[in-house]
């Protein structure tokens, strides 16, 4: 499934809780995803699962949003 209008959703806190829930809702709807959280290993497992199950593109961005440098990396990705 192609994403609706080639839209991409960026989800922070995607390794658990409400962030993970958003990812699990948006992937079946066809959205490509950028998953952001500190735990890269957890994000990669989720990304692999969502790509396999829903044929969407999922990018992993490990970042701690309490750190200015990581906020800048997320900001750069948003600018793309």
Q: How many domains does the chain have?
A: 1
- CATH value at residue 21: 3.40.50.720
pLDDT in tens, 6-53: 799 999 999 999 999 999 999 999 999 999 999 999 999 999 999 999
Q: Which domain holds residue 37?
A: 4-79
Measuring CA to CA, which residue among 80, 41, 79, 35 is closest to residue 59? 35
The pLDDT of residue 1 is 44
Measuring CA to CA, which residue among 44, 62, 53 is closest to residue 26? 53
What does the alpha-carbon distance between residue 18 and residue 79 come to, in Å, rounded to a whole number? 24
């Amino acid at each position: 499934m192609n994403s609706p209008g080639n839209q991409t959703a960026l989800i922070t806190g995607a390794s658990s809780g409400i962030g993970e829930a958003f990812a699990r809702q948006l992937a079946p709807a066809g959205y490509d995803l950028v998953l952001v959280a500190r735990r890269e290993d957890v994000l990669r497992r989720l990304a692999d699962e969502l790509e396999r199950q829903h044929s969407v593109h999922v990018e992993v961005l490990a970042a701690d949003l309490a750190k200015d440098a990581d906020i800048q990396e997320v900001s750069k990705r948003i600018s793309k």
